[in-house]
Structure 1
Amino acid sequence: MTYESLPEGSVVLRLEFSIADAVHQRGLFAVIGAAIAAWWSRPRVPADLPDDLRADVGLPPAARYAHWTDIPGRSGIPDPLRRPSM
């Protein structure tokens, strides 16, 4: 099987063939180690990226850190000791 046999073929099929070929040539642990190393050294989104640029690449707006004083005094959690009124 060569890449030229499927010029319009599936990318997934080609990827599975490449992974199987790499495991056959190098071994399973070497391929898994290379995949983990590639994942670990992947490019990261900068922390100070503006929201308009995040939207351009399809990311949600950056999460804003909340301070404990921003939490309202009454939460939506009911008091388990309080009896319902009848």
Structure 2
Amino acid sequence: MTGEIMNFPDLYGILNFAGDIPAAPIEVEWMERPKVAEHFHATTRKEIKIAAPAKPVEIEKPAETENAAVSDSDLPGVESDDVI
């Protein structure tokens, strides 16, 4: 059966509905349709050139001080008696 379907001429097929209705061969008539769009034409892509990466920017690190730890007086709204 599969070989027969593969060898059907153009516009021929089998119509099958669910239920007890048996499958039936059909022939569809060709209908001329208005042209809606042009045919698709594949084009070649242009080469994409990737620029060299930018040089990294040097960021100056802040000078380290002797007392780098944060004290209570550095935090706004925190009194030395408050528990953090």
Q: Which has the larger radius of gyration?
A: 2
Greater helix share, 1 or 2? 1
The structure whose residues are more often strand, as a share, is: 2
Q: Which has the higher contact order (CA 8 A, sep 6+)?
A: 2
Q: TM-score range by the shorter chain?
A: under 0.3
TM-score, length-scaled by structure 2: 0.20
